[in-house]
Structure 1
């Protein structure tokens, strides 16, 4: 019997051609139960993380470079809810070897881990997650294994060739049933979890009669149809290397029903089949088919009149991406489930129009041209450059598969990125074969039905500091000194107030939390305060999901490891940090100067800070009049050019409006980098701008270099800090035409490339004289469009 379906808002109902026999009130009650529970479960947003690692096999002394992308799971857009991303590397026993908290901006962050003496030869797991993910039992985090090779401990390359096979036959939807035609997926894996490609197989009965034959695809997967007879035993037989592996097919049920999905042009056909013995037991029962994607749900009533019921679904009614069909019995218990992927232009990756190379001395200038890029939108592209013969890039996921596929399945997926590189009929068919063998989705209906929206783990945006003042007299002005990523903040407590809160603090390694108090006598004092930091502990994420280990290898005698110390030498990193700090200050000065329109931008020099020049002296040099009234403990600033009207200029501290000049009276000049000012009336500030304005900008470039005895400030360690971005350094090799370099060498890693207005990306790589080089490209362009490609370039031809 066919049913044609048409959606209505979040649920859709069947127009039944043959009869209208459904109990409407019962259906409404069941619908409310299932739909309401999923709506409540999915009401809160979710985040999904993808990390692009530059390699999957490392040598001690190299750097692991990564660029992490945080997405909204439902909208597929970059998430801007969380800034704190936790990254860990753990060994095979789950012990964390290294960890970082990194700061996410615009949904993107990149950094490096040093593969140093903390690592021995073996396999490790990289994880990336947010605090918000702890609220859900979903596999939205990122995890990937990689190998570390130690040339000193190994003598020869050994690639595992274990012929042990794991053969699984799974009924489509989850069940096999005697006495009816079953659709089933077969997947054959080796000991490491990788599919056995192109092997021949068959299903036989207990009399060795061949029921059906099949050939596995490149990932060891095939689909079969067969009708098992009650009382008989059946077996799968896989032939590999002229050896037959035989396994009995168990758990064939005598009663119940099965499901199958057929993709026919513009429609999907859902078939539900039962045998004659089961029909009498189920024909009077009401079932429901829920179609959902983890966010929205549509419900279809199902009732059996014959041994086969069919539903036709127009593909226009499907969700973009994953569609999960779950069949519920009359008690709202899930009994069957099938996943289907509906490709749309939403997850289509952008493509490269062309790649070109130009030789420049000992380097190659690589130019990538993307199609359909929009200027002035967000762009971030990460590129790993490796020899084309490399064994060191065996990632199972790319940015698309991690976002559109991984969060919805339970099993490990081999080369998941393959299904998204070229969306065509072949890849769609093979993806559907994969989903048949995945069984149940990652959504657990027991969890959904029992979900309570108690979100104990909030979104984290930097670190919040709640400071309690312990002085007897808490009233007064408190200064929180600047950090590299935070400006000076001023807090004024009145009455019985004894607490102030600083939000979104971004401390990096080595920085401290400093608080000073401006007392009534215009002197700065050391306050008695007690700060509390949120978060204060690095959270350990225990959740995991099935994944494949990266292909491991060991050294042979003719392969020599390079000296790779330069890839993470701390002296180079330190010098780089100093250069970055200097450049950042210069860029800030240039930006302020460009922005100023007739105003002056005054830099406070180091010599002025050393001499102890006061802020009042500097303001007076700018043409204003500032003075301390020690009797009344007042700090005043006026514009002497103003004869009538308000003479006090508009005051800002790090772009925050200051209404009381006394707040500025004892700000240490050593924390100030620039002052932008104008004595002319400024209409942009309305009547208050009649006497001009003064904008004070603080920084840390001098303050932390001249950090003496802390007599006037209370100083505290941050219990948790962000890891500063480090520059990736490519190892140096004595020879480039060796087996070692071709298999495990690194040519370059570029984590934060941008397109120009013409959609062109350019970067330089070392010319290793190789005939071909591989580019592994992942990223986001046009705000939220994805790009994922592997390109082989030929430096000799310029392509």
Structure 2
């Protein structure tokens, strides 16, 4: 992929050189070894990240979920056009059932679409996922995933409440070694998957209290701890009823390495402290490798003595986001790991300015959006904007946005609660809490075992730029042993073309990068001269990635009861109005009588106007002839057929050579025509002399045009089964619908139908101009409420941004 070279040109070499000159004790051989391994892994397995901006956080049955999709490469977040198809599906959390699938066409890494939440979809918790075919080479934890809730307007399920808590401990660096003082991070999560504030203590095997702890943010915290050799430890939480709840504590190792990282004391540097306890060794040679999203940032070398090892490493040149630190022992094996978060506040500034602070119901609103970089200069960007009624929709506290997704959530395992909190400059303790998050969440992009392997298996899934048609050809029930040529006619409302393909020796075939919307009609058959009827075709179905059912938030939203009732009431009213309008239209249509002359549409397969002679193939003709050429013999004046079957030759009087053969508008060879199933042919047209001139010099000896039943766009072939021929439909890109926003002109009488849209306006495909500005206009609803405006922004260089604003309607 071209962006891989750009990444290494811009980032890899300058950063490595910076740290080679900064530290005299860098081992250049190890540096080159690690850099080469990471570069090779990235070359074979470059990363992609997907993000979806949704119009609102929760929905009702019968509603429409609108989304804008962004696809970027994994390191610098430049909009990625390598994969041009993004899959978006909706998973029911309770059962893992996939209830909707959309194929989104990406242009320059962006696209949009919608999912209609039909009444048949049950209320409850769902997860919306986004991924490319290439991303399926990795864990599904790297897919974009967001929890939403679907309500039924007529019944509201109360949230599930439980007192069960899950408590886990995480020794810093990954190990707890006897006699070495370290830090232990922890995280407490309730049954809904959300952080729970807790207090607790640790007892040794003599039941003495050796440590106490208290959470600081969303169930996370940390405390100092020095384990003693030969001891066993148990953790307890203070329960609500005064009863202590028992939990396992990490196992202690008698020997090993520990690593502590201070990324908070100094904004310019991070301090790394490493300790070890190795029997028979007074000191140990180690390397510390830092990389950001797979690109080497630095490699430092030192010795751990009885007093440990301290390194001070600059952070000013590190990119925004997560940097991964790994401690390698003297055998170059990874023994400790730690994540640190770097934020230089380089995200885009997004300023949203309504033309007024207050509007009237149904008044036209005008909103300007200005996007600036961190230096205050205007930026050309892609952006998506959602406008919602805050009286119905309660925006979730610090919900995911494009900045938190690309810089944080996409590089961590598991569910991240309130991800945007860690980017709020008004939260003075956010850096401390971000560091707690780094200690309690796992890394998901790759494993060192894979990177350092001598050989890597090739990827199983490829980059898609269109729809793929794959399958297998068999002869009867047996597999093929030789290659078979295939003919394929594909058509839909805007496309009709003849294609050829070939199987491999095992009978497998594939056609890549078909670009079409909705569906495509496929007619597939073998081109061998005999045994055609014995061939059978099996198309590979698209199998969505398996769903791992985990204890995800069953009720993943916070909704004010009054707002929820208002939303459900308005939604039910809107759906009832829509039903009445449909019923009214149906009644009106039953009373309408349309008179007029039916227009006969021209067959798109005929480049010519009218043929000199035409044969309508009947069932009797088809059963009497072994081939189409046999049917042609003796039926058209001036056309001579010499021989029969596959060996027949055709001549049109006055010409020395054989005519041009055309199948459903596409020139083909005579063998293809002779191998056609006679029952599949609709008609045969013969063009002589001037009539064939439209085909140029190729039609100099005349033209025989064969029109098949399945090539006719009006022919219903979906239930037709012909031996040796596969006729079916395949799904293509979903054509995105346009969000409907009513227009209320002052000069026109106002409609009688009430308007209480929850999503007042949705603009997924906006762009800022050279001045960094974009403008949108829409009409407010009937509600007297507060309007919430939210925008996700991504520059062409991969810098994200998020903005929000609001105004009153009164």
TM-score for the superposition, normalised by structure 2? 0.66
> CA, structure 1 residues 723+613, in 2 after alignment: closer, same or farther (shift >3 Å)?
closer
Name 1:462's counterpart in structure 2. 466
* Deviation of 1:177 (Å): 3.6
Q: Tell me the residue number matched to 2:194.
A: 194
Q: Which residue of 2 aligns with 1:401?
A: 404
Give the alignment partner of residue 736 of structure 2, picking from 725, 739, 743: 725
Q: CA deviation at 1:209?
A: 5.9
Specify the alignment match of 1:761 in structure 2: 775
| Correspondence for 1:512 among 513, 521, 542 | 521
Report the Cα offset of residue 722 of structure 1: 2.5
How much has 1:91 moved relative to structure 2?
2.1
Task: Tell me how far apart the structure 1 counterparts of residues 521 and 381 of structure 2 sit (CA, whole Å).
Answer: 33
Structure 2 contact 90–98 (Cα < 8 Å) conserved? yes
1:56/1:146 contact within 8 Å kept: yes
Residue 708 (structure 1) shift: 8.5
Instruction: Indicate the residue corresponding to 1:42 in structure 2.
Output: 42
Summarize deviations over 1:631-653 as a string: whole Å, max 9, x none. Answer: 76999xxxxxxxxxxxxxxxxx9
Structure 1 residues 103-114: aligned runs within 5 Å? 103-106=104-107, 107-114=109-116
Write the deviation string for residues 427-451 of structure 1: whole angstroms up to 9, x where unpaired: 3332122102225555322333346
The structural deviation recorded for 1:82 is 1.4
Aligned position for 1:383: 386
For residues 276-326 of structure 1, what are the alpha-carbon distances to aligned partners after superposition, in whole Å with 9 as ceiling and x for unaligned? xx3654434433322122422343334222322101111135344221011
Matched, 1:129 2:131: yes
Q: Which residue of 2 aligns with 1:342?
A: 342
Equivalent residue, structure 1, for 2:103: 102
Say which SS state the counterpart of residue 46 (structure 2) adopts.
Answer: coil
Determine if contact 2:353/2:805 at 8 Å carries over to the other structure. Answer: no
**How far does the alpha carbon of each residue in 1:256-284 deviate from its partner, in whole angstroms, 9 at most, with x for none?**
43433343435434433547xx3654434
Cα shift readout 1:173-194 (whole Å, capped 9, x = no counterpart):
1223443332232323222221
Cα distance, 1:748 vs. partner?
4.2
Do the aligned partners of 2:65 and 2:115 also contact (CA within 8 Å) in 1? Answer: yes
Q: Distance in 1 between matches of 2:599 and 2:753?
A: 47
Q: Deviation at 1:614?
A: 8.1
Deviates more, 1:110-119 or 1:548-557: 548-557
CA RMSD of aligned residues (A): 5.5
Question: Does 2:302 align with 1:293?
Answer: no
8 A contact 2:490–2:520 mirrored in 1: no
Alpha-carbon distance in 1 for matches of 2:397, 2:51:
16
1:204 and 1:546, CA in 2 relative to 1: closer, same or farther beyond 3 A? same
TM-score, scaled to structure 1? 0.67
CA distance in 2, matches of 1:74, 1:766: 40
Matched residue, 1:523: none
Q: Match of 2:180?
A: 180
2: distance between equivalents of 1:98 and 1:570? 27
Equivalent residues in 2 for 1:264-275, closer than 5 Å? 264-274=265-275
1:404-430, Cα deviation, whole Å (9 max, x unpaired): 222322232111122235498643332
Tell whether the 8 Å contact from 1:396 to 1:413 is kept in structure 2 after alignment.
Answer: no
Matched, 1:437 2:440: yes
In the aligned structure 1, how far is the partner of 2:798 from the partner of 2:534?
A: 45
CA contact (8 A) 2:348 2:800 kept: yes
Of 537, 544, 561, the residue aligned with 2:542 is 537
Q: Aligned with 1:400: secondary structure?
A: helix
The answer to whether the 8 A contact 2:352-2:804 is kept is no
Q: CA deviation at 1:363?
A: 4.2
| Kept after mapping to 1: 8 A contact 2:201/2:235 | yes
Partners of 2:797 and 2:20 in 1: how far apart?
A: 37
Whether 2:550 is the aligned partner of 1:551: answer: no
Structure 2 CA distance for partners of 1:393 and 1:763, relative to 1, 3 Å: farther
Distance 1:165 1:500 in 2: 52
Matches within 5 A, 1:523-672: 537-542=542-547, 548-549=553-554, 550-551=556-557, 561=569, 562-565=572-575, 610=602
Question: What is the Cα deviation at residue 459 of structure 1?
Answer: 0.8
Determine the structure 2 residue equivalent to 1:792: 806
| Residue 70 of structure 2: aligned partner | 69
The DSSP-based 3-state class of the residue aligned with 1:772 is strand
**TM-aligned CA deviation for residue 772 of structure 1:** 1.3
Aligned mates of 1:180, 1:46 — CA distance in 2: 38
1:139 partner SS: helix
Does the residue aligned with 1:351 lie in a helix, a strand or coil? Answer: strand
**Superposition pairs of residues 355-366 of structure 1, within 5 angstroms:** 355-357=354-356, 359=359, 362-366=362-366
What residue in structure 1 maps to residue 691 of structure 2? none
1:464, 1:169 → 2: CA distance?
A: 46
Aligned equivalents of 1:611 and 1:237: distance in 2?
79
CA contact 1:212–1:226 (8 Å) conserved in 2: no
Change beyond 3 A, Cα 1:705–1:422: farther
Q: 1:261 to 1:455 in 2, by over 3 A?
A: same
User: Structure 1 pair 296/11, CA: closer, same or farther in 2 (3 Å)?
Assistant: farther
Match of residue 496 from structure 1:
none
| Residue in 1 that maps onto 2:764 | 751
CA deviations over 1:209-231 (Å, ceiling 9, x no partner): 685665513x2323333445556
Secondary structure at the aligned position of 1:458 is classed as coil
Tell me the CA shift for residue 548 of structure 1. 4.3
Aligned ranges 1:68-87 → 2 under 5 Å: 68-87=69-88
Structure-1 separation of matches of 2:250 and 2:294 = 35
- What number of residue pairs does the alignment pair up? 658
CA distance in 2 between counterparts of 1:777 and 1:192 reads: 29
Distance 1:466 1:188, change over 3 A: closer
Q: Deviations over 1:503-557 (max 9, x none)?
A: 63223334424799xxxxxxxxxx9999999986344344688854523889999
740, 758, 780: which one pairs with 2:794? 780
- What is the rounded CA distance, in whole Å, between the counterparts of 1:747 and 1:433 in structure 2? 38
Do 2:766 and 2:774's aligned partners in 1 also have CA atoms closer than 8 Å? no
Q: Does structure 2 conserve the Cα–Cα contact (< 8 Å) formed by 1:383 and 1:776?
A: yes
- When structure 1 is superposed on structure 2, of 435-444 and 722-731 the one drifting more is 722-731
1:140 aligns with 2:142: yes
Distance 1:50 1:570 in 2: 37
Maintained 8 Å contact 1:204/1:235:
yes
Corresponding residue of 1:52: 53
Cα distance, 1:387 vs structure 2: 1.9
8 Å CA contact 2:396–2:558 kept in 1: the answer is no
**Structure 1 position 367, deviation (Å):** 0.6
Query: What is the CA–CA distance in structure 2 between the aligned matches of 1:570 and 1:445, rounded to whole Å?
Result: 61
C-alpha change, 1:72 and 1:160, in structure 2 (3 Å) is same
Q: Deviations over 1:12-49 (max 9, x none)?
A: 559778xx7x9x7xx83x65664443332221322111
Q: Distance in 1 between matches of 2:783 and 2:130?
A: 36
Greater alpha carbon shift after TM alignment, 42-51 vs 114-123? 114-123
Q: Is the 8 A contact 2:76 2:798 kept in 1?
A: no
CA distance in 2, matches of 1:439, 1:500: 40
Please tell me whether the aligned partners of residues 74 and 293 of structure 2 are also in contact (alpha carbons under 8 angstroms).
Answer: no
Alpha carbons 1:279, 1:306 under 8 Å: kept: no
> Match of 1:401, SS?
helix
SS in 1 for 2:516: coil
Conservation of the 8 A alpha-carbon contact between 1:87 and 1:100: yes
Give the corresponding residue for 2:219: 220
Aligned counterparts of 1:492 and 1:169: Cα–Cα separation in 2: 57
Q: Secondary structure at the match of 2:174?
A: coil
How far apart, CA to CA, are the structure 1 residues paired with 2:604 and 2:438?
Answer: 71
Give SS of 1:718's match.
strand
Distance change >3 Å, CA 386–CA 784, structure 1 → 2:
farther
